[in-house]
Amino acid sequence: FDPRTILKCAFGCADWGKGHTCPSRPNSLRPWEYEQVLRRYSWGIIVHSHDKKISQEVSFAIEREAFIDGYYFAFSLSDCAVCAECAGFRGQNCINPKKARPAFHSVGIDVFKTARKFGLPIETLRDQNQPQNWYSAVFIE
């Protein structure tokens, strides 16, 4: 965890103040609050993909299966890709709040450090044409 992640959201993301899973939304937990909650989990799974939507679909499917298997606190984090465009960008309510999840990085997790810890590929992109690594996580307890 690193609370500096919120700086990248607030000053580097065009979605700040718009998306329903964004840490800027009203009543959202801050990274240091998420840390207290997420540290209660003893294990989880990291999902890697080059496609944001696939990453979210896989992590949500794992969350659901874990829940069905009795891990009722299972919770996935993934940069939300449920809708083509977030309703929040139009000032509307989330149309799929049961599936909308905050991004791995927006809750205070240093994605670069975490991916590297597990030997997963991640680098800053030097060019928009480079394939992007998308990560999501499922916390299971």
Q: Which residues lie closer than 8 Å to 10 by C-beta, 6 or more apart?
A: 16, 24
* Side chain identity, residue 98: K
Domain regions of the chain by residue span:
5-119+131-140
Work out the average pLDDT over 112-128.
Answer: 94
Q: Which tens digits make up the pLDDT trace of 45-69? A: 999 999 989 999 999 999 999 999 9
Residue 100 CB burial class (10 angstroms; 0-12, 13-18, ≥19): buried
**DSSP code at position 131:** P
Judged against a pLDDT cut of 90, whether residue 15 lies above it is answered with no
Structure tokens at 111: 């994605």
Judged against a pLDDT cut of 90, whether residue 87 lies above it is answered with no
pTM for the structure as a whole: 0.86
Apex CA 69: angle with CA 116 and CA 111, to 5°? 15
| CA distance linking residue 37 with residue 23, whole number of Å | 15
Work out the average pLDDT over 14-42.
Answer: 86
| Closest to 48 measured CA to CA, from 122, 113, 107, 103 | 122
CB atoms within 10 A of CB 92: 10
Work out the average pLDDT over 107-124.
Answer: 94
Q: Among all chains, which residue has been given the structure tokens 């840490």?
A: 23
Work out the average pLDDT over 81-102.
Answer: 85
| CA distance linking residue 55 with residue 108, whole number of Å | 19
